Amino acid sequence: MSEEVLALVDGAVGRISLNRPRALHALTTRMVKTITNALLCWRGRTDIQAVLIDHSAEPDDDAKRSRGFCAGGDINLLRRSAIEDNGREGRRFFFDEYRLNHLLYMYESGFGGQPIVAFMDGVTMGGGVGISQPARFRVATENTRLAMPESGIGLFPDVGGGWYLSRLAGRLGQYLALTGARLDGAECMWAGLASHYLPAEQIEVAKARLVFGETPENVLGDLSVNPPEPALARYAGDIERLFASDQLDEIIATTAAEGGAFAASILDKLRAKSPTSCKVALRQLATSLKLPDFAANMAMEYRLAARVLVMPDFAEGVRAMIVDKDNAPLWSPSTSEAVSPATLDAIFNHLPQHEEWTPL
């Protein structure tokens, strides 16, 4: 247990509560290690019937409102590392975080553990997606806002994003990776990124019943409701057509020629993102579909993270979007055409053997 994350046995569940409300529960290295150690201690324990992942109460929380489940990773640590130590601490964070992502993915089956229930009540971005998508039970509410916004800060959709997004229907994953679009709870259900939809007022009821020893299947089956109509569904055909290519230049050209308000909004988003990040993301998703398992995906993503972290776009993207908040990043290079195949090849190349990522 640490101040930033509370990990304890609570009745019939192992409970992990993220506890950085001022940072929307963004993950730090210490939090990652605390969660990992708790999961390793709990696996196989017959008195723990499920693992519950949620966030602690925020100062202005009430029964119907939650600002954030987890807003991502420790971006400030990563930027400092990129500037001050050539990415050494940042790579260490990614290495440990990706081990946690893989542990969660394999926990119920590969590690002889218990089912995981993740309550995505509020902002669920980046690292928050990485600790919720491996769960068999992924609970969305009317507060859920799920996104992978990394292309806007010079990164790419990591923490398993290549695996999850590439396997969504209708090129939705490519749309999410390139635009950073936010999905609400109903849209998460429609996309397959949530398994259950609960009214926020029922979240504490569900947790209490899990603590008491009821199974996730019974609790969530009993309390789930039909979500509202997903607003994004009306554009499913447009998304599949506009993002049909794995080449960024073609997507931009197709979208520019499309016309209409939806295509125009997409084009604005694409032009605001790092061209290098967008090209990396498209190749990442295409490559992930060919990989044999989740571990291979995480090894690939670690290679990408180790290199993209110290490229100019990351420090500049964080400066523009988070530090100075001028929303005017100067990408290098600034156009899609200037990102060469050789640059992408270098980013995707294997690391020296002693630097490669390995699972626990």
Catalytic (active-site) positions: 73, 127, 150, 158
What is the maximum span of the chain, computed from C-alpha positions, in angstroms? 59
Residue 317 tokens read as: 């993207």
Q: Who contacts 5 (Cβ-Cβ below 8 Å, separation ≥6)?
A: 16, 17, 18, 19, 20, 30, 31, 34, 35
d(CA 308, CA 151): 11
300 and 291 in contact (C-beta within 8 Å)? yes
3-class DSSP state of 148: coil
203 and 323 in contact (C-beta within 8 Å)? no
Helix (H) or strand (E) holding 120: strand 116-120
If 0-12 CB within 10 Å is exposed, 13-18 middle and 19+ buried, where does residue 225 land?
A: exposed
251 and 245 in contact (C-beta within 8 Å)? yes
d(CA 136, CA 49): 14
Q: What angle do CA 61, 65, 67 make, to 5 degrees?
A: 75
If 0-12 CB within 10 Å is exposed, 13-18 middle and 19+ buried, where does residue 22 land?
A: exposed
Helix (H) or strand (E) holding 315: helix 312-318
Parallel/antiparallel/unpaired status of strands 137-140 and 5-10: unpaired
156 and 279 in contact (C-beta within 8 Å)? no
Parallel/antiparallel/unpaired status of strands 5-10 and 13-18: antiparallel
Helix (H) or strand (E) holding 147: strand 145-147
